[in-house]
């Protein structure tokens, strides 16, 4: 035991430990990404025609906007649902907390495909959801094949990715801060926005980014729950790969998706920076 | 800390497994023919087709020749392309659509050896340079007998008449399932004048009923709405209609509205077991295994000499028996499709998702 600890203490050995992970990342992530980028430029030739064509394609623009719209909506709904849940998790007894974690994790461990098919069954015409609503006297159209269905299913699938980072950040907030705020005369709303929310921001940012990024790449859920009118960019990429064997064209769309995401983040980051500056000048 | 150790261990193990997977699979190193082949790798569409072929063709073939057939489904053309491009073809036999075997012949598939295959045993036009048909399927108008009673829809024009025949309609979301052909025939284009497809005219026709369409891509997306009575009619695979009928559903088919397609066996380019794979194709497309396949599946035997024993419901839904042969139905123009695949599928998909 002593020997092992001593061996690990030498920095060289510790660095060596990261080699397997590095190899995996390079071989299974970096290299394929480079190949994808090269192919998107028509490798072994060199051309921008793929990009030029897709950038002016109105259908691509529609689907790209739809993809960002659905992802933003999913992220917002997931945040609104998750925050109170994660907060509650920090307030309850240890035993209740375990039950609450289990409620989050059990669906998380169930295959995405199984959950999506379950939603398909629930949403189908004359299915459980319609019967349930009908029982309460509500006549409704089937949700299968609609944007509502896609949103509900995607939020459910992605909820754990919001709740877990939120919980880990909320559970680290020292309740003494809140007591101090109250003692200094802040009411509940003030305490929440001035003290609690800023401390929770890290978890909110982590969860929001995770859910948003994962939503952008969603394929199977909109494909099965939605109709073609809810198609997201992943479905067009899949069509190019599977049906046209057009890996270059798929690469173009993937790069455009990444670029669009980066631009969005830059713009959002810029807005936050400007807002902060204004705030400080007001003070 | 302990969690992190466990996580690291898990990641390492899965990484090793990945490395292992990418190394494995390449079996057999000889150049030769069936003589030294002991196993073939088949990649199909999975599900019922794989199960049936295993029973009717692969197991008897293994008994005869001693060559075992391993399944590596589901098939993906993208995966096949990667295999061929990296000179590492691990599949010896796959299923394919005639459009694919025409479009990617010699690029992804080996030309077939016609020495022991009699072209007259198969429907005209269904053998391509790189593919031998395994079965015929048909796509046709189906409708709910309970809904329309004594006045059912009979023509494709009826399919577009939402006043006389109200309700949601199943419709393919992929142009390769003949979405545009159906629209054009309904609009009065003669089957023999369909190609080249008038895409704009077809889409304009489809626009008139777009809000009533329920799009499908998979087989289950056809059976499930029919069984749940979420649709009153549809353009669907007759094989799936049969399945609904066998489960007690109230759907019937309007023969005469159908288009017949073929599915094929194809041999991936670069296989080291071409001769053995070809022997398996010859056996699987011979009358006896073909008849047994037809009896177990809702698809017609590709070999016209096959004599399947079908019950009444099966006969009614069979593209060649109930559909009364190729005189009524018509086969798509695979050469045209192979050449214009991307353009037409993109145009149709843009219409559907826009």
Average pLDDT over residues B46-57: 92
- Asked if ipTM goes beyond 0.90, one says no
The token duo for A79 is 């945040």
Facing residue for A239 by CB, picked from B11, B81, B349: B349
In the predicted model, is pLDDT for residue B261 greater than 80? yes
Q: Which of B284, B283, B313, B317 is nearest to B299 (CA)?
A: B317
- The pLDDT value recorded for residue A188 is 87
Task: Check if the beta carbon of residue A217 is closer than 8 Å to that of residue A234.
Answer: yes
- pLDDT tens digit string along B22-33? 433 333 333 444
Most confident of A128-142, A211-225, B5-19: A211-225
- pLDDT tens digit string along A56-107? 999 999 999 999 999 999 999 999 999 999 999 999 999 999 999 999 999 8
Q: pLDDT confidence of B297, banded at 50, 70, 90?
A: confident
- The pLDDT value recorded for residue B11 is 46
- pLDDT tens digit string along A106-162? 988 888 889 998 999 899 888 889 888 888 888 888 888 899 999 999 999 999 999
CA atoms within 13 A on the CB side of A74: 34
Question: In the block, which residue shows the tokens 């500056």?
Answer: A277
In the predicted model, is pLDDT for residue B310 greater than 90? yes
- pLDDT tens digit string along A223-239? 999 999 999 999 999 99
In the predicted model, is pLDDT for residue B6 greater than 60? no
User: Are B78 and A245 in contact (CB < 8 Å)?
Assistant: yes
Measured CA to CA, the distance from residue A246 to residue A239 in angstroms comes to 9
- The pLDDT value recorded for residue B37 is 86
Nearest Cα of chain B lies from the Cα of A75 at a distance, in angstroms, of: 23
- The pLDDT value recorded for residue B247 is 92
| Stated pTM of the model | 0.84
In the predicted model, is pLDDT for residue A206 greater than 80? yes
User: Are B353 and A24 in contact (CB < 8 Å)?
Assistant: no
Length of chain B: 354
**Cα(first)–Cα(last) distance of chain B, in Å?**
50
Residues of A engaging B, defined by a Cβ cutoff of 8 Å: 20-21, 23-24, 28, 58-59, 62-63, 120, 124-127, 142, 144-145, 223, 227-229, 231, 235-236, 239, 241-247
- pLDDT tens digit string along A252-262? 999 999 999 99
Strand-pair category, B233-237 with B169-172 = parallel
DSSP tag of B72 = -
- The pLDDT value recorded for residue B13 is 46
Instruction: Sort residue A245 into left (φ over 0), alpha (ψ -120 to 50) or beta.
Output: left
- The pLDDT value recorded for residue A3 is 62
Average pLDDT, chain B: 88
């Amino acid at each position: 035991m002593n020997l092992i600890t001593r061996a690990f203490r030498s920095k060289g050995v510790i660095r060596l430990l990261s080699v397997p992970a590095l190899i995996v990342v390079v071989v299974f992530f970096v290299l394929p990404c480079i190949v994808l980028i090269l192919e998107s430029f028509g490798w072994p030739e060199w051309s921008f025609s793929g990009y030029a064509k897709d950038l002016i394609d109105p259908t691509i623009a529609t689907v790209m906007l739809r993809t960002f719209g659905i992802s933003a909506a999913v992220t917002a709904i997931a945040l609104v649902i998750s925050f109170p849940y994660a907060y509650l998790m920090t307030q309850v007894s240890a035993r209740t907390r375990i039950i609450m974690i289990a409620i989050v994790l059990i669906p998380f461990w169930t295959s995405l495909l199984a959950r999506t098919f379950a939603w398909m069954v629930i949403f189908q015409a004359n299915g459980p959801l319609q019967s349930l609503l009908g029982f309460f006297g509500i006549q409704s159209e089937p949700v299968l094949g609609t944007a509502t269905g896609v949103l509900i299913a995607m939020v459910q699938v992605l909820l754990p990715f919001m709740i877990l980072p939120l919980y880990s950040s909320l559970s680290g907030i020292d309740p003494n801060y809140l007591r101090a705020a109250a003692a200094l005369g802040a009411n509940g709303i003030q305490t929440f926005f001035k003290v609690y929310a800023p401390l929770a921001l890290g978890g909110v940012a982590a969860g929001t980014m995770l859910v948003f990024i994962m939503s952008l790449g969603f394929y199977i859920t909109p494909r099965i729950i939605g109709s073609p009118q809810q198609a997201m960019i992943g479905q067009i990429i899949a069509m190019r790969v599977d049906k046209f064997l057009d890996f270059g064209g798929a690469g173009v769309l993937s790069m455009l998706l990444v670029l669009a995401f980066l631009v969005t983040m830059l713009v959002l980051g810029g807005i936050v920076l400007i807002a902060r500056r204004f705030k400080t000048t007001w003070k | 800390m302990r969690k992190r150790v466990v996580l690291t261990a898990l990641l390492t193990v899965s990484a090793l497994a990945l490395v292992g997977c990418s190394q494995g699979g390449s079996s057999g190193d000889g150049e030769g023919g069936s003589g030294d082949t002991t196993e073939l790798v088949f990649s199909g569409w999975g599900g019922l087709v794989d199960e049936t072929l295993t029973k009717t063709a692969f197991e008897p073939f293994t008994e005869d020749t001693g060559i075992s057939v391993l399944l590596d489904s589901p098939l993906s053309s993208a995966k096949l392309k990667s295999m061929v491009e990296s000179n590492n073809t691990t599949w010896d036999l796959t299923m394919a659509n005639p459009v694919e075997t025409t479009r990617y012949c010699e690029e992804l598939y080996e030309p077939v050896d016609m020495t022991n295959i009699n072209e007259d045993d198969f429907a005209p036009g269904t053998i391509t340079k790189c593919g031998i048909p395994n079965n015929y399927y048909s796509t046709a108008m189906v409708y709910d007998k309970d809904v329309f009673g004594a006045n059912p829809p009979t023509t494709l024009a009826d399919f577009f008449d939402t006043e006389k025949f109200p309700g949601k309609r199943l419709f393919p979301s992929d142009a390769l399932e003949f979405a545009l052909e159906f629209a054009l025939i309904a609009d009065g284009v003669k089957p023999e004048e369909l190609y080249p497809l008038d895409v704009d005219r077809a889409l304009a026709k489809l626009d008139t009923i777009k809000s009533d369409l329920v799009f499908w891509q998979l087989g289950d997306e056809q059976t499930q709405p029919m069984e749940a009575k979420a649709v009153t009619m549809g353009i669907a695979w007759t094989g799936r209609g049969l399945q609904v009928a066998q489960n007690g559903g109230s759907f019937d088919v309007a023969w005469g509205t159908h288009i017949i397609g073929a599915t094929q066996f194809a041999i991936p380019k670069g296989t080291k077991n071409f001769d053995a794979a070809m022997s398996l194709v010859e056996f699987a497309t011979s009358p006896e295994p073909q008849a047994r396949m037809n009896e177990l599946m809702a698809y017609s035997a590709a070999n016209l000499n096959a004599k399947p024993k079908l019950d009444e419901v099966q006969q009614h839904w069979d593209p060649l028996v109930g559909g009364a042969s190729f005189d009524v139905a018509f086969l798509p123009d695979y050469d045209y499709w192979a050449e214009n695949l991307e353009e037409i599928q993109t145009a149709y998909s843009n219409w559907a998702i826009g």
